[in-house]
Chains A and B, each alone.
Chain A
Amino acid sequence: MSKEANASLAPESALTAVQLASLDAVLNLIVPASADGRMPGAAEVGVPAYLCAEAADALPVLREELDELDRRSNARFARGFAALEQDERKTMVEALRAQAPAFMNRLAMETLACYYQHERVLEGLGLEARPPYPTGYQVVQGDLSLLAPVRAHGKIYRDVP
């Protein structure tokens, strides 16, 4: 499926309300909000929309795994995953991480990609939330007098016949 085609696919169309709630809970286990409030949690930066646009191929397995998470949660705690306490969620997700490492790794990598290019996150890191071009960045020129011992050592290449 092309990216253009996926761009029109809203998260609310791609995932059910229960699936979205479970996904938000999982995302905040991957990257929680910082205690000082400077950094948002991963559920606050639009990961579902990012997944629809950039990782549509992963949506079918995402749905399956979120449903499975909810089913197991109901079986064990008689509540859906999103309704669990944080410790209970963590236990469930750690189990999923052990059972479906490829899926969870993909979800984590896509989440980090979305998270660390988001305006709120970049500003939280003290960076300017902008593309590198056209402004660029200032870089310390550096102290070339550090080369003194290298110059003093002299030639290190071999002569050839």
Chain B
Amino acid sequence: MKTEDVDVLIIGAGASGAAFAWSMADTRMRILCLEQGDWMNPSDYPSTRRDWEVRMEREFSANPNIRRRPEDYPINDGGSPISPLNFNGVGGSTILYAAHFPRPHPSDFRVRSLDGVAEDWPLDYAALEPYYALNDRQMGVAGLSGDPAYPPHEPPLPPVPLGLAGETMARGFNALGWHWWPSDIAIATRDYEGRAACVNLGPCKSGCAQGAKSSTDITYWPVARRAGVQLRTRCRVREILVDDKDMATGVVYYDEHGVEQVQRAEVVVLACNGVGTPRLLLNSKSARFPDGLANRSGLVGKNLMLHPWGVVRGAFDAPLDSQLGPMSCCILSQQFYETDRSRGFVRGYNMQVIRGFGPVATARMGVARGDIPWGEGHHEAFARRFGRSITIGICCEDLPEECNSVTLDPKLTDSNGIPAPKITYRLSENSERMLAHGLARGAEVMKAAGAWDVYGEGPVRQTGWHLLGTARMGEDPERSVVNGWGRSHDVKNLFIIDGSVFVTSAGVNPTPTIQAVALYVADAMKQRLANLFD
């Protein structure tokens, strides 16, 4: 079957693809997005059932190797202490993300100039600021203005409740004289743009049945589709086609029936994030690009950054109802975010206060660690922790290293026979020191807040939410894959708009920056339509 040619073909309907599609819709060009997953039905989300805790670990696991839906591709993560996480569907990983939405600092874009490591970005915080603000409005972001860790900005919605857990940790941070602030969070805390307000279901990371969490299937996509953007689901792209002038001509994909199709396009835009995008480029080999498309720099798949993640857990005497509220979103601390070389490492980390867990997770974690025994004393030990526990996540900035990479697995494939990605990753010495520092400071603030039992661990394997850096941007074609506005150095009508273009990772959840970059690239393209390929 011949498909109708389009002007702009977007691959991936997640955080970046949705924002980009929405922005480009006003050009009235023929825009099509191919997504390998399907639309989600919120009534299927785990929070609609009493067994939500078990379901979120299985068919709604963020790990595709556990979830194993038909639309997922396997990832060989045996060479990494951190497993990459994702979701395939309209909305992409925003379906399962926590919606913790902090921006980076201005210094995050100037790490070479300020700290002498890695590379500066070809753009800066000031250039992206209007796009952060636009994205906050389109997604619906809750927060509190005035945070002294950031240049001024105004979240459009009021913050999520601190709860007793947030208040408890706030007092701990205050006792030490450390920074804390209610996190920016992509959750509608009041009715917003046709979406109902958050009612504190809790397990945001398994999909929001209420529709209060800002996943792009319910934010950008409805508007983009009304504006004429086509979205074709259950379509898995195998490779990008290129002509003898080094111009992309379209893609080969498998449709929902598994039938091979060719889609022609004037412009191809990659929005598959830091593992999916290099995988597709490396799978798009041709005579002119024997090492993978747009890979004359040799950097496609290199410099993978995953944000090594530690957790510090504390148990308190007082009942805190800590199992209630948006599970992973409350307050943050950026006391140790900016570089201070006296700490023994450069760059820094964000401390993300996570609330407690449901009864199943509380019991399982407690029994696994030996805090909650079998048999005698079980109920008493459980009662001392359930609703009385708080976790702090330590999100460490990961610096780029070429040895950390996404390559193609020589044997593993998805259900269409397309080679699967293989992850090779290890923590640098800088990351190890940073993580150890974060775990120690996390324990310190837990004790200051009054915890009677504290323990920490990291890196935690099932925390590879942030997939960054594998097709980075820059002005030098020898040292980067795309230019400062997302265009491939090697293929002038190929753009990348997802987390792969990150030059450095900052120390915060990347989705606001991924989307701000996507909106920035869209505007850059619209301003250059007459000479886009020059």
Residues of B within 8 A of A15 (CB): none
| Residue A77 at the chain B interface, CB threshold 8 Å | no
Residues of A within 8 A of B177 (CB): 149, 153
Q: A97-154: which have CB < 8 Å to B?
A: 105, 108-109, 112-113, 115-117, 119, 121-122, 125, 127, 129-144, 146-147, 149-151, 153-154
Q: Can you list 14 contacts pairing A with B, beta carbon distance less than 8 Å?
A: A31-B375, A32-B376, A108-B374, A109-B364, A113-B364, A134-B209, A137-B202, A139-B321, A140-B164, A141-B161, A146-B167, A149-B174, A150-B179, A158-B106
Is the CB–CB distance between B386 and A125 below 8 Å? yes
A42 CB, min distance to chain B CBs, angstroms: 10
Which 3 pairs of residues, A with B, have the shortest CB-CB distance? A142-B162, A136-B199, A116-B359
Residues of B within 8 A of A147 (CB): 170, 180-181
A139 CB, min distance to chain B CBs, angstroms: 4
Is the CB–CB distance between B52 and A131 below 8 Å? yes
Is the CB–CB distance between A157 and B151 below 8 Å? yes
With A140-B164, A141-B162 as contacts: A112 and B174 at CB distance below 8 Å: no
Is the CB–CB distance between B51 and A136 below 8 Å? no
Instruction: Find A137's partner among B110, B113, B146, B324 (CB 8 Å cutoff).
Output: B324
| Residue A161 at the chain B interface, CB threshold 8 Å | yes
Which of B18-26, B41-49, B63-71, B254-262 contacts the other chain?
A: B41-49
Is the CB–CB distance between A156 and B338 below 8 Å? yes
Is the CB–CB distance between A132 and B201 below 8 Å? yes
Distance in angstroms between the alpha carbons of A149 and B124 in the assembled complex: 30
Max chain B C-beta neighbours (<10 A), residue from A112, A117, A147, A156:
A112
B349 CB, min distance to chain A CBs, angstroms: 14
Is the CB–CB distance between A138 and B200 below 8 Å? yes
Distance in angstroms between the alpha carbons of A112 and B57 in the assembled complex: 14
Residues of A within 8 A of B335 (CB): 156
With A133-B48, A155-B148 as contacts: A140 and B167 at CB distance below 8 Å: yes
Question: For residue A97, which residue of chain B has the nearest CB?
Answer: B374
Distance in angstroms between the alpha carbons of A160 and B209 in the assembled complex: 42
Count of chain A residues with a beta carbon within 8 Å of a chain B beta carbon: 51
Is the CB–CB distance between A157 and B360 below 8 Å? no
Question: For residue B334, which residue of chain A has the nearest CB?
Answer: A156
Residues of A within 8 A of B53 (CB): 113, 116-117
Residues of A within 8 A of B110 (CB): 160-161
A2 CB, min distance to chain B CBs, angstroms: 12
| Residue B227 at the chain A interface, CB threshold 8 Å | no
Is the CB–CB distance between A108 and B367 below 8 Å? yes
Count of chain B residues with a beta carbon within 8 Å of a chain A beta carbon: 69
Instruction: Find A30's partner among B106, B114, B374 (CB 8 Å cutoff).
Output: B374
A85 CB, min distance to chain B CBs, angstroms: 15
The interface bits of chain A over 31-55 (1 if a CB of B lies within 8 angstroms of the residue's CB, else 0) are 1101000010000000000000010
Secondary structure at the B interface, as helix, strand, loop or mixed, is loop
With A116-B363, A140-B167, A142-B163 as contacts: A151 and B51 at CB distance below 8 Å: no
Distance in angstroms between the alpha carbons of A105 and B369 in the assembled complex: 12
A32 CB, min distance to chain B CBs, angstroms: 6
The interface bits of chain B over 161-183 (1 if a CB of A lies within 8 angstroms of the residue's CB, else 0) are 11110110011011001011110
Question: For residue B180, which residue of chain A has the nearest CB?
Answer: A150
Residues of A within 8 A of B164 (CB): 140, 142
Residues of B within 8 A of A150 (CB): 148, 173-174, 179-181
Q: A156-B338, A157-B105 are in contact. List 17 more A-B contacts (CB 8 A).
A: A31-B379, A112-B364, A117-B53, A117-B54, A122-B50, A137-B199, A137-B200, A142-B162, A149-B177, A150-B180, A150-B181, A151-B146, A156-B179, A156-B334, A160-B110, A160-B114, A161-B113
Distance in angstroms between the alpha carbons of A147 and B210 in the assembled complex: 30
Residues of B within 8 A of A4 (CB): none
Is the CB–CB distance between B325 and A134 below 8 Å? no
Distance in angstroms between the alpha carbons of A158 and B346 in the assembled complex: 14
Residues of B whose CB lies within 8 Å of any CB of A are 45, 47-54, 105-107, 109-110, 113-114, 124-125, 144, 146, 148-151, 159, 161-164, 166-167, 170-171, 173-174, 177, 179-182, 198-203, 209-210, 321, 324-325, 334-335, 337-338, 358-360, 362-364, 367-368, 374-376, 378-379, 386
Is the CB–CB distance between B163 and A140 below 8 Å? yes
B2 CB, min distance to chain A CBs, angstroms: 37
B266 CB, min distance to chain A CBs, angstroms: 37
Is the CB–CB distance between A113 and B113 below 8 Å? no
Residues of B within 8 A of A134 (CB): 199, 209-210
Distance in angstroms between the alpha carbons of A22 and B181 in the assembled complex: 53
B391 CB, min distance to chain A CBs, angstroms: 17
Residues of B within 8 A of A108 (CB): 367, 374
Distance in angstroms between the alpha carbons of A137 and B386 in the assembled complex: 16
Question: For residue B322, which residue of chain A has the nearest CB?
Answer: A139
Is the CB–CB distance between B179 and A132 below 8 Å? no
Max chain B C-beta neighbours (<10 A), residue from A116, A141, A161:
A116
Max chain B C-beta neighbours (<10 A), residue from A108, A109, A142, A147:
A142
Max chain B C-beta neighbours (<10 A), residue from A127, A133, A136, A146:
A133
Residues of A within 8 A of B198 (CB): 136
Residues of A within 8 A of B49 (CB): 131
| Residue A29 at the chain B interface, CB threshold 8 Å | yes
Distance in angstroms between the alpha carbons of A66 and B400 in the assembled complex: 52
Q: A76-97: which have CB < 8 Å to B?
A: 90
Residues of B within 8 A of A132 (CB): 47, 52, 201-203, 209
Distance in angstroms between the alpha carbons of A121 and B51 in the assembled complex: 13
Residues of B within 8 A of A31 (CB): 374-375, 378-379
Residues of B within 8 A of A142 (CB): 161-164, 166-167, 170
Distance in angstroms between the alpha carbons of A112 and B379 in the assembled complex: 12
Instruction: Find B200's partner among A90, A117, A122, A139 (CB 8 Å cutoff).
Output: A139
